[in-house]
A and B are shown apart, each in its own frame.
Chain A
Amino acid sequence: MRSLIFAVSVSVVGLGIAAPAQAAASGGGGLPQLDISTYSSQVIWLVITFIALYVMMNWVALPRIGEVLEERQNRIDDNLTKAEDLKTQAEAASNAYDASLAKARGQAFDAIREVKDKASAEANERQTQLTKRLSASIKDAEAGIATAKAEALSSIKEVAVDVARSAISKLTGEDANEASVSKAVSSALKDRA
C-alpha cells in the first residue's frame, strides 16, 4: 500500500517536471512568434478567415446596418416634414381664427354704434318734441295768467272805485263824483303798479 502511494506521487511529480520541459522544448527556446514553421498555417488561416469576414461584412452585415440607419434617417426626415406641414397648417388656422375674430369684433362694434346712433337720434327727437310741447303749454299758461291778471286788475279798479265812493260817502255824507273817483283810483293804481 505504502509503495503504491509512493509510486503515484513520484509519477505525479515527474509529470509536473516533465510538462514545462516539454513545452519549453516545443517553443524552441525563443519567442514562438519567430518560429517560421508555424507561418504557413497562420497565413493560410488568416487569409481564409479574413476573406470570410470581409464577405460576411460586405454582403450581409453592413448592408443590413446601413439599411436600418437609412430607414431611420428617412423616418426622421419624413416626420420632420410632416411636423413642418402641420405647423404651417396650425399657423394658417390660427391666422384664420384671428382674422375672423377681428372681423366679428368689427361687426359687433358696427352694430353697437348703429344701435347707439339710432337710440340717440330717437332720444333727441323725443327731447325736441317734448321741449316743443312744453314750451307750447308754457305759452298757453302764460297767456292764461296774463288774461287772468288783466281781468284781476280791471276788477280791482272797479272794486277800488266802489270802495272809494262808499268810503267817501260814509266819511263826507256826500256822493262822490264817479268819474273823478275813477280817475283818482286809476292814477293810484298806476303809481302802485
Chain B
Amino acid sequence: MANPIEQFNVYPLIEINLGGVDASFTNASALMVLTIASVSLFLTLGMRGRALVPGRWQSMAELSYEFIAGLLRDNVGSEGRRYFPFVFTLFMFILFANMLGLLPYSFTITSHIIVTMVLAMVVFIGVTAVGIIRHGFKFFSFFVPSGVPMAVMPLMIPIEIISYLSRPVSLSVRLFANMTAGHIMMKVFAGFVIPLGIFGGWAPLGVDVLLVGFEFLVAFLQAYVFTVLTCLYLNDAIHLH
C-alpha cells in the first residue's frame, strides 16, 4: 500500500535559487500556475462570445461572478464593491486549487499549511489595514465590547484581542486540515480497495467513490467558507460591530 502522505510531497521540477533562497519551480508551483491558467481560461473563453443570451460556459462564468458579487453585497454591503476583485480572485483561486487537487496524480496546493497561512495572512493584514485606514484610531474600539460593565473590561479586552488574532490561524488551519484529512482518507480507503475487496467485494471501492464525491463537496464548501469569512471580517473592519 502506498504511503497516504506521499501525495503531499513537494519536489522541485526546476531548481531555482535566488540569492540563497530556494525558489524552485516545484510540483506545487506547477499546480498554482495550472490553477490560475484554468481560472483565466474558464472566464475568458467562457465570456469570449459576449452573448446576450449566454451559453453553458458563459452562464457558469457569469454565475461565479454573480455568486461572489451577491456574497459580498449580502455580507458587506455596497462599500464592499471595491474589494470585489480581491474576494473574487481569492474564491476562484481556492476553488480551482481544491478541485484540481482532486484529479488523480495531481497535487493539492491548499493542503499545505504554508499556502493557506499566506492566504489567511493576506486577508487578515488587508482587512486590518482597511479598518485602520477607514476609521483611524477609532478602529481599536473594535476590541472594546459595548454594553459590558467596566469591571470586566480588563478581562474582555484581552479576550477580544486574542479572538481577533486567532482569525488567520482558524482560517488557514480550517482549509489546510480539511484538504489534508480528506485526501489522506481517500488514499487510505483507496488502499483498502484490493486487500478488503477480497472480503467485501465492491464495497470498499463504493466507499471510496462516495468519498471522492464528498471531497468535491468539501472542495467547494471550504472555498466558500474561506470567502464568506473574508467577507465577514471585511464587514467588521468597515462597519465596526
CB within 8 Å of B: which residues of A?
20, 23-24, 26-27, 31-35, 37-47, 49-50, 52-54, 56-58, 60-62, 64-69, 71-72, 75
Contact = CB atoms under 8 A, between A and B. Distances in A.
Contacts of A53: 35-36, 39-40, 89, 92-93
A45 B39 contact: no
Contacts of B145: none
B191 interface: no
B8 A41 contact: no
A50 B89 contact: yes
Interface stretch (B110-118, B158-166, B198-206, B209-217): B110-118
B36 A52 contact: yes
A38 B24 CA distance: 9
Contact of B62 (A40, A47, A49, A69): A69
A41 B43 contact: no
Interface of B (DSSP majority class):
helix
Contact of A42 (B3, B26, B44, B92): B26
29 contacts: A20-B3, A23-B3, A23-B6, A27-B3, A32-B5, A32-B9, A38-B10, A38-B26, A39-B114, A41-B16, A41-B28, A42-B109, A42-B112, A43-B114, A43-B118, A44-B18, A45-B28, A49-B35, A50-B89, A50-B93, A52-B36, A54-B89, A56-B36, A56-B39, A58-B85, A60-B40, A64-B43, A68-B47, A75-B52
A42 B10 contact: yes
Interface in B64-83: 65-66
Contacts of A49: 29, 32-33, 35-36, 93
A31 B5 contact: yes
Contacts of A43: 114, 118
Given A27-B9, A50-B122, 12 more contacts: A20-B2, A27-B5, A32-B8, A41-B12, A41-B16, A41-B23, A41-B25, A45-B23, A49-B35, A50-B93, A53-B39, A61-B40
Given A53-B92, A54-B86, A68 B62 contact: yes
A66 B109 CA distance: 30
Contacts of B9: 23, 26-27, 32
A53 B52 CA distance: 26
B169 to A, nearest CB: 15
B192 interface: no
B8 A31 contact: yes
Interface in B108-133: 109, 111-115, 118-119, 122
B50 interface: yes
Interface in B47-62: 47, 50-52, 54, 58, 61-62
Nearest to A67: B50
B162 to A, nearest CB: 24
A64 B47 contact: yes
Contacts of A57: 39, 43, 85, 88-89, 92
